[in-house]
Each structure stands twice: as structure tokens, then as C-alpha cells.
Structure 1
Amino acid sequence: MATEKSNSTSVLQHIEAGLNVLNQLCIGFITFWISWNCLRVGLTGIRLHVWLVTFGFVFLMAEAMMCFYNGNWLTLRYTRKRKTAIHVVLQILGGGMGVAGCLVQLIRDDWSISVTTHARLGFAAFILCLIALLSGITAVVARSMSKLVSPLANKTFHVILSLGTFVTAMLAQFYGYTQTGIFKGQGQDFVILMQVVTMIAMVLTCIAPFKSLYHKFVSFTS
């Protein structure tokens, strides 16, 4: 029985590792293509917005969310303390770039929000990201505030909020391919490919926080 359980665990670990590689390829493809498409003509106008939110949300925030994931071969051998440090840095940089990208577009639009799905989701991600960054700071100092707020409850709230921010940002990215003029001329098939790759990256990245939430729920109930 122990051998069968060990074999099933090993298979699951290999599956998770394979999915993580696929996810890294998807994230890399999106980030590389957007960066190349924006940087080759200069970060002016809407291209600055597109590059900042893509690099911030799709790349840095996704990598931050997967820091503690056992299936992530990039951080698997790091200690918990080092993973935490990497997570904090990536979250601050990613969240900061995402917020900056949203602010750039808001300023360009004279602080008005377009009626498009992309714009509304983008603004929601902007607000959620600001709250998530604040909750992240609280989570870091949760031990010193343990008499006021349960560290486990605070970290659980932070994971849920970060997950909501990421999903909202990725959905905004999904609609942005068709609702922003920057992607005109790329061809409909390529735009569909980008949307599919974005959804794959979103789903696979969410595995890590969902596993974290499951373990936290078990801790709550035990």
C-alpha cells in the first residue's frame, strides 16, 4: 500500500512539474511577444500601458504566486525564507508595474473608464491590486500582529485577494487582445492563439494558490 501511494504521488508530482513547464512556456510566450511588439516601436501612448500591465501582472505576479508551489522547479530547492523574500519582491514589482500601467491609461483617458469589458476588468484589477499589496504587507508582519489578527486568517485573505486580482487582470488581458487597437493587423488566428495561451497560463497559475487555500482550510478545520 505504501509503495502504491508513493508511486501515485510520484506520478502526480511529475504531472505537476510538466504542467508547470507548460505554464512557464505560456507566460514566457505572452511576455516576450508583448514586450517585443511594444519595445520595437517605443513605449509611447497605449503601448506603455500594455507593456507595464503585461510584464507586471502576467509575468511577475504569476511568478510570485507560484513561488511556494512544489511543482515549480524554479524555486523548488529554495528555503521557505528565500521563497518568501522572492515572493514579496516579485509581488511588489509586479503589482507596482500593474498599478502604474493602469494609472497611465487612466491619465490618457482623463480619468474616465471606457464601457468595454477590458477597461472595466482592468479598473477592477487596479483596485484589487492596491488592496492586495496592502494585505501583503500585513501578511508579512502578521506574526507581530497575532494578538489582533490571526496570521493564518490574514494570509488566507491575502491569497484569496491576490488570486482574485490575478484572475481579473488575466481576463482583462484576454479581452484586451480584441478591444485595443494595438493588436490590429496581427491576424485573427494569432489573436485567438494569444487568448488561448493567456487562459492556459491563468488556469495553470491558479493551481498553486488553490492548493495553498486547501491546506489553509484544512488547518482551519483541524
Structure 2
Amino acid sequence: MTVAKSNSTTVLQHIEAGLNVLNQLCIGFVTIWICWNCLRTGLSGIRLHVWLVSFGFVFLMAEAMMCFYDGNWLTLRYTRKRKTAIHVVLQILGGGMGVAGCLVQLIRDNWSISVTTHSRLGFAAFVLCLISLLSGLSAVLARSLSKICSPLGNKTFHVLLSMGAFVTAMLAQFYGYTQTGIFKGQGEDFVILMQVATLVSMVLTCIAPLKSLYQKALSFAS
């Protein structure tokens, strides 16, 4: 019985490791292509917005969310304290770049939001990311704030909010490929490939916070 359970756990760990590799490839493909495309033509106009939000949300925020994930071979051998430090730095940098990218575009559009799905989701991600950064501060100070709210509840709220901000940002990214006009001339098949890679990355990155929420739910129930 114990051997069978151990074998099933090993298989699951291998599957998670394989999915993490696939996720890193998708993140790398989207991030590298967008960075190369924006930097080679100059960060002017909408390209600055695209570079900031893509690098901030698709790369940095995704990596921040996976810091504590057991299937992430990049941080697997780090201590909990070091993972926390990496998570905080990546979250601040990623969230900061994402927020800055949204602000750049809002200023360019005279603080008006267009009716496109991309714009609306982008603004929602902007607001959620700001709240998420604040909730992250409270999560770091969870023990100090234990008299005000439960540390477990505090961290659970932060995970939920961060995942919501990330999913919203990735969906905005998905629609941005076709609604911003910046990817015209790349070919319809290539745009579809970018969209698929973005969605795959979004789904696989969310495995980490979903597992965290499941473990927290068990703690609430016990």
C-alpha cells in the first residue's frame, strides 16, 4: 500500500515537473518575442505599454506566483525564507511594471477607457494589481497583524486576489494580440500561437495558487 502510494506520488511529481517545463517554455517564448519586437523598434507609443505589461505580468508575476510551487525546479531547493524574499521582489517588480504600463496607456488615452475587451480587462487588472500589492504587504506582515485578522485568512485573501489579478491581466494580454494593432503583419497563425501560449501559461501558472488555496482550505477545516 505504501509502495503504491509512493509510486503514484512520484508519477504526479514527474507530471508536475513536466508541466512546469512546458509553462516556462510558454512564458519564455511570449516574453522573449515581445521584448525583442518592442525593443528593436523602440519603446515609443504603445510599444512601451506592451513591453511593460508583458514583461511585468507574463514573466515576473507568473514567476512570483510559482515561487512556492513544489513542481517548480527553479526554486525547489530554496528555503521557505528565500522563496518568500524572491516572491516579494518579483511581485513588486512585476506588479510595478504592470501598473506603470497601464498608467502609460491611460495617460496616452487621456484617462479614457476604450470599449474593447482588452482595454476593459487591462483596467481591471490595473486596479486588482494595485490592491494585490497592498494585500501582499499585509500578508508579509501577517503575524504582526494577527490581532486584527487571522494570518491564514490574510494570506488566503492575498493568494485569491493575486490569482484574480494575474488571470485578468493574461486575458487582457490574450485580447491585446488582436485588438491593439501592434501585431499586424505577423500573420494570423503566429498570433494564434501567441494566444495559445499565453492561455497555456495562464492555466499552468494557476496550478500553484490553486494548490495553495486547497492546502489553506484544509487548514481552515481542521
TM-score normalized with structure 2 length = 1.00
Alignment match, 1:183: 183
The amino acid that maps onto 1:26 is: C
Alignment match, 1:34: 34
Alignment match, 1:129: 129
Whole-angstrom distance in 1 between the partners of 2:101 and 2:196: 23
Tell me the CA shift for residue 181 of structure 1.
1.3
Alignment match, 1:45: 45
Note if 1:117 corresponds to 2:117.
Answer: yes
Whole-angstrom distance in 1 between the partners of 2:130 and 2:200: 25
The amino acid that maps onto 2:126 is: F
Tell me the CA shift for residue 107 of structure 1.
0.2
Please give the secondary structure, in 1, of the residue aligned with 2:110: coil
The amino acid that maps onto 2:64 is: A
Tell me the CA shift for residue 203 of structure 1.
0.3
Alignment match, 2:84: 84
Alignment match, 1:200: 200
Task: Give 5+ residue unaligned stretches, structure 2.
Answer: none
Please give the secondary structure, in 2, of the residue aligned with 1:182: coil
Whole-angstrom distance in 1 between the partners of 2:11 and 2:181: 45
CA root-mean-square deviation:
0.3
Tell me the CA shift for residue 121 of structure 1.
0.1
The amino acid that maps onto 1:105 is: Q
Deviations 1:4-36 (A, max 9, x none): 000000000000000000000000000000000
Question: How many correspondences in the alignment?
Answer: 222
Equivalences for residues 3-152 of structure 1 within 5 A = 3-152=3-152
Tell me the CA shift for residue 109 of structure 1.
0.2
Please give the secondary structure, in 1, of the residue aligned with 2:41: coil
Alignment match, 2:219: 219
Whole-angstrom distance in 2 between the partners of 1:70 and 1:139: 20
Task: Give 5+ residue unaligned stretches, structure 1.
Answer: none
Deviations 1:192-217 (A, max 9, x none): 00000100000000000000000000
